[in-house]
Amino acid sequence: MSTLPSGNGLAGRRVLLGISAGIAAYKSAQLARLLKQAGCEVRVVMTEGAQAFITPLTLQALTGEPVRTSLLDPEAEAGMGHIELARWADVVLIAPGTADLMARLATGMADDLLTTLCLASEAAKVMAPAMNQAMWRHVATQRNAERLQQDGWRLLGPDSGDQACGDVGPGRMLEPEAIVAELLAQPAETPPQELPARGLHIVITAGPTREPLDPVRYLSNHSSGKMGYALAASAARLGARVTLVSGPVTQTTPEGVERIDVETAREMHEACLRLIAGCDIFIGCAAVADYRVDGVAEHKIKKQEGEDGLTLKLIKNPDIIADVALKREPASHRPLVVGFAAETRDLEAYARDKLTRKQLDMIVANDVSAEGLGFGADDNAALLLWRDGEGESSESLPAQTKTRLADAILRRALSCLPDGPTH
């Protein structure tokens, strides 16, 4: 059974849980239970279509509150009930959020109880999208997602994986535990004086790079970008100005984060060196290709009859984290440099070597061969190594959501700064 820490930041929060018409609605029962377990007051609003997947009676039993399903309910609306409900909420959380609901909210429609509440409420607004992978990737959905974020919505996910329709790809609703962990990471607006990264500029790299072989093929790796994006979201929540240099991923840009898209290691290298003069912390989380092909083919490489193989000559790519660490002069513009070490064996030995050899201030090492952790997973564990006045120190962080792990990594990095921001 999932449990939450006592004294968590959600206790006493009033959560209006909106459920729309997606197969992932069955997960909303577990989400409601976890929110209650966290100490939240929970009231549920369901769209008409959502009731085809899960009954209002189930949610009523889990929350202890009547479930609202209609805008035109004469008994509830006798005292303008939908306005009272909108005013009651601290957080409006929609899970699942379908493509249809996203489209209606993005255009400001109020044609049912849930969309009307969203327009009438001044509460924080959070959504966990869930839909078929093609629907999520569609330009209209991406446009709606961007508009919703501009309007103040915080989007959690979606995740990637097997879907009920048989497809595989982005569009799965985050698991209830991951949604609650995200809310725990940012339960409410934090007063500016309590933001430990306020005034800092943090540059983060994320995702894989792609090194072309010819116009249709490339070399890459399994990085999903989830850890780097979690770090960017955490840094923004802690008050930093965040620039995210991202390889090709399907992740949604975190709220308040500036994103620069790149494809190759050389493009990422150029962007990072351009940014480091004005940053306080540089975090190299991307899984950058160590090698590229010496000479990209102008046309698609064809299979040759009678040949059993293909030989490619690979040359080294620039070492981004090492070059950033070496270009930390003048001292007034010296960023704290944090590297990552994704290993499959001898984790601590390789991490210590990288920390010393590349002159880093801190390194985050993780075992990407561990089942359920690392590339593509929602959870991760890490070994932190850093330099301080007494030499090297270390800390082991157990398996946890990447959101919570990102917070722990950022807070450790902030503790390594000499006296706060340098600018």
End-to-end CA distance of the chain: 47
Give the number of other Cβ atoms within 10 Å of residue 64's Cβ: 10
Describe the crossing of helices 99-106 and 113-120 by its angle, rounded to 10 degrees. 40
CA distance 126 to 149: 10
Question: Does 300 count as an annotated binding residue?
Answer: yes
DSSP conformational letter for 24: G
Question: Does 24 count as an annotated binding residue?
Answer: no
Question: Does 202 count as an annotated binding residue?
Answer: no
Q: What is the DSSP string of 144-194?
A: HHHHHHHTTEEE---EEEE-TTS-EEEEEPPPHHHHHHHHHHS-SPPPGGG
Q: Is 109 helix (H, G, I), strand (E, B) or coil?
A: coil
List the catalytic residue out of 165, 272, 279, 416.
165
Question: Does 376 count as an annotated binding residue?
Answer: no
Question: Does 319 count as an annotated binding residue?
Answer: yes
Q: Is the peptide bond before 96 cis (omega within 30 degrees of 0)?
A: yes
Q: Is 165 a catalytic residue?
A: yes
Question: Does 225 count as an annotated binding residue?
Answer: no
CA distance 144 to 271: 28
Question: Does 36 count as an annotated binding residue?
Answer: no
Q: Which residue in this structure is represented by tokens 């070492």?
A: 319
Question: Does 285 count as an annotated binding residue?
Answer: yes
Question: Does 320 count as an annotated binding residue?
Answer: yes
Question: Does 315 count as an annotated binding residue?
Answer: no
Q: 99: which 2 tokens?
A: 């493509």
CA distance 192 to 202: 17
Question: Does 354 count as an annotated binding residue?
Answer: yes
Tell me which residues are annotated as active site: 165
Binding positions? 284-286, 290, 300, 318-321, 340, 354, 358
Binding positions for CTP? 284-286, 290, 300, 318-321, 340, 354, 358
